Amino acid sequence: MKLKNKALVYNFTGFLIFFLIIRFSLHALTELNYIIIALVSGFGAMFLAPKFAVVKSGTEEKIMMKWIFLKGVKEIK
């Protein structure tokens, strides 16, 4: 699998996990409209999910991760 595809899968997985956690939590705790819950869950997941990108350093490519809960950028092996 190419690194760009792997980074895309990591981004989608991180977004999906946070989206589902927020969506089911809001649904269980509030009685908001489904559209409002989906919008809040989407924006919350965009903010909370880690971001993965492929960075070319010299001759090799690496997957790097940036997240609001971690300081700096981390390399994913």
pLDDT tens column, 28-68: 999 999 999 999 999 999 999 999 999 998 889 999 999 99
Decide if 13 contacts 24 (C-beta within 8 A).
no
**Count of structural domains within the chain:** 1
Q: What is the pTM of this model?
A: 0.87
Give me the pLDDT at residue 18, please: 97
Q: SS3 breakdown of the chain: % helix, strand, coil, rounded to 5?
A: 55, 25, 20
Q: Residue 22's closest CA among 34, 35, 38?
A: 38
Query: Can you tell me the mean pLDDT for 12-32?
Result: 95
Decide if 17 contacts 28 (C-beta within 8 A).
no
Domain span at residue 67 reads: 3-76
Give me the pLDDT at residue 66, please: 95
Query: Can you tell me the mean pLDDT for 14-39?
Result: 95
Q: Residue 27's closest CA among 38, 42, 43, 14?
A: 38
